[in-house]
Amino acid sequence: MTRPRNRLVLGILAAAAVFAALTAPRAAQAHPLGNFTVNRFAAVELSGDRIYVHYVLDLAEIPTLQEGPRVRRPGFAREVAGRLVLTVDGRRAELEPLMRRVRSRPGAAGLKTLRFEAVYRAESAGTSLRLEDRNFGSRVGWREIVARAGRGARIEHSSVPARSASRELRSYPRDLLRSPLDVARADVRFRLGSAAGVAPGLVGAAPREHAGRFESLVAHDLTPGFVLFSLALALFWGAAHALSPGHGKAIVAGYLVGSRGTARHAVLLGGIVTATHTAGVFALGLVTLALSAFIVPEQLYPWLTLVSGLLVVGVGLAIVRTRLREVRHARAHAHGHDHHHGGHDHHDGDHEHGLRGLVGLGVSGGIIPCPTALVVLLAAISLHRVGYGLVLIVAFSIGLAASVTGIGLIAVTARRAFGRMRFDGVAVRALPAVSALVVLALGAAMTVRALPGVL
């Protein structure tokens, strides 16, 4: 029973490796804007009642060589803030660095290029602001500023667009009729909201609200130690994720195995959950990647959330239907208990139900890609670390499956230990129906939350 599962996991891993090789950015590629450019991007982010500035530097090969050590220094974020002049209602506003990240990538001729990102918070009040970027003023390069608002904050007038033409210095337009952007100043009239502001994250395509610990793994510098650590962490989070409230599937699966199955069934269930979950995330990731040629991930994500929300609703409905049929079946069975061939029928059907139901449950438990896992994948794609993201998701899925299997095994063992004790109190019997409703509610909530992003 374990061999096919191993083969499946190996197959997925091999596919992931090929996939990663195909999508990894080509090394030894010269910087698209010429190898001595320093490219600058600033986003004024008005979120709820707060003003944030998200700043990105993309240094080509030569500036990386010249300025790399300075840019890598922890104090550099503050240096940048000193030349990033933000005035709110005519008064200079201090920019306080919240987070920073520096990453280097292979460039042409064995040299490296460097990407620096930082998020700043400004004291927040007022109705008009001006942002002036004086960093690397004498350097040649792309200079872009955007201004965007969310969580109740509004932009009334802005001298700069809300959307980045370079995807935040990730891809520069090659349109012959467009000059390289050279915007070093933005004037914005705005109204802040009353909701609490949320700082923009540094995970690129990932939705800002979701940026959590698991997601941040993918953005970290990759040392062997860190990779091992992150794999262990992903396993642990997968396991914890299965146990977290709202995931009725673990309990349902545990119940099924506990009441009728064996230890083997428990392991099988775990395998199915891992495989389905991994495949589900991969499939969604592939779709995202295919579509990302036409749409940027930032635009795609709300749709994806909507689709997965609807998917969860669908699965929830299917489970509810199954449960209803089961209840009806159980009632009918109770009425005709005395009939001999009815009893026989019951036994046969039960066996069928055991295996098919087990697979079905495993699949339905795994098919809903956990938003966290999807975010990891999307973040990995946006950071050009697809292979690493996939490996993390496999680990996450295995952790998830381990939890499900563990519950199943405990139930099986418990049943053996307590012999006559049966898991069929009213509460336990109601549990499958309740968890189906929970899945349904979860899907509905996901769908509703995705709607504002799409409309």
Partner 1 sequence: MGALAATVLALGGALGESGRAPAAAAAAAASPAVAVDPAAATKRLVSSLQRRLRVDGQDADALTRLGFAYEQRARETGDPSYLVKAEGVLRRSLAITPNSADALIGLGSVALSRHDFRRALRLARRARAQAPYGSAALSVVGDALVELGRYGEAFRTFDLLAARKPGVAAYARVSYGRELIGHTGAAIEAMQLALAASAGRPEPTAWTSVQLGKLELARGRLDAAARRFRAALHVFPRYPYALDGLAFTEAAHGRLRSAMTLSRQAVAAAPLPQFVGTLADVYELAGDRGAMHEQYRLVGAIEGLLRASGVRTDLETAQFDVDHGLRLGDALRLARRAHRDRPTVDADDVVAWALVRTGRCDDALHFSRRALHLGTRDATKLFHRGMIERCLGHDGAAARWFRRALARNPFFSLRWARIAEEYAR
User: What is the binding site for partner 1 (CB under 8 A)?
Assistant: 28, 30, 32-37, 61-62, 65-66, 108-111, 136, 138-141, 176-180
Q: Distance (Å, rounded) from C-alpha 99 to C-alpha 97?
A: 6
CB of 91 to partner 1, least distance (A): 25
Enumerate long-range contacts of 16-23, CB under 8 Å, 24 or more apart.
16/282, 16/387, 16/390, 16/391, 16/394, 17/387, 19/282, 19/286, 19/386, 19/387, 19/390, 20/386, 20/387, 20/388, 20/390, 21/387, 23/289, 23/381, 23/384, 23/386
Residue partners of 242: CB distance under 8 A and separation at least 6: 249, 250, 399, 400, 401, 403, 404
| Whole-number Cα distances in Å, 71 to 100, 107, 177 | 11, 17, 33
Give the shortest CB-167-to-partner 1 separation in angstroms: 17
Find the shortest distance in angstroms from Cβ 111 to partner 1: 6
Nearest residue (CB) to partner 1, 138 versus 194 = 138
The minimum distance between CB 215 and partner 1, in angstroms, equals: 34
Looking at beta carbons only, is 8 or 140 nearer to partner 1? 140
Q: Minimum CB separation from partner 1 for residue 33, in Å?
A: 5
Q: Which CB sits closer to partner 1, 107 or 207?
A: 107
Q: Do the Cβ atoms of 29 and 107 come closer than 8 Å?
A: yes
Cβ proximity to partner 1: between 136 and 388 the closer is 136
CB closer to partner 1, 140 vs 445: 140
In the complex with partner 1, the residue whose CB is nearer, 136 or 282, is 136
Contact 404, 254 (CB under 8 A): yes
Q: How far is the CB of 110 from partner 1 (least distance, A)?
A: 7
CA atoms within 13 A on the CB side of 305: 25
State the Cα–Cα distance between residues 363 and 322, nearest whole angstrom.
14
At its nearest, how many Å lie between partner 1 and the CB of residue 75?
20
CA nearest to 198, candidates 240, 146, 162, 148: 148
Nearest to 107 by CA among 169, 64, 70, 55: 64
In this complex, which beta carbon is closest to partner 1, that of residue 15 or of residue 108? 108
Q: In the complex with partner 1, which residue's Cβ is closer, 172 or 255?
A: 172
The nearer residue to partner 1, 7 or 134, going by C-beta atoms, is 134
Sheet strands (E) in 248-346: none
- For the CB of residue 61, give the shortest distance to partner 1 in the complex, in Å: 6
Instruction: Write down the least CB distance from residue 142 to partner 1, Å.
Output: 8
Residue 175 zone, left/alpha/beta (φ > 0; ψ -120 to 50; rest)? beta
User: Concatenated DSSP letters for 225-273?
Assistant: HHHHHHHHHHHHHHHHHHHSTT-HHHHHHHHHHHHH--HHHHHHHHHHH
Question: Is 255 within 8 Å of 429 (Cβ atoms)?
Answer: no
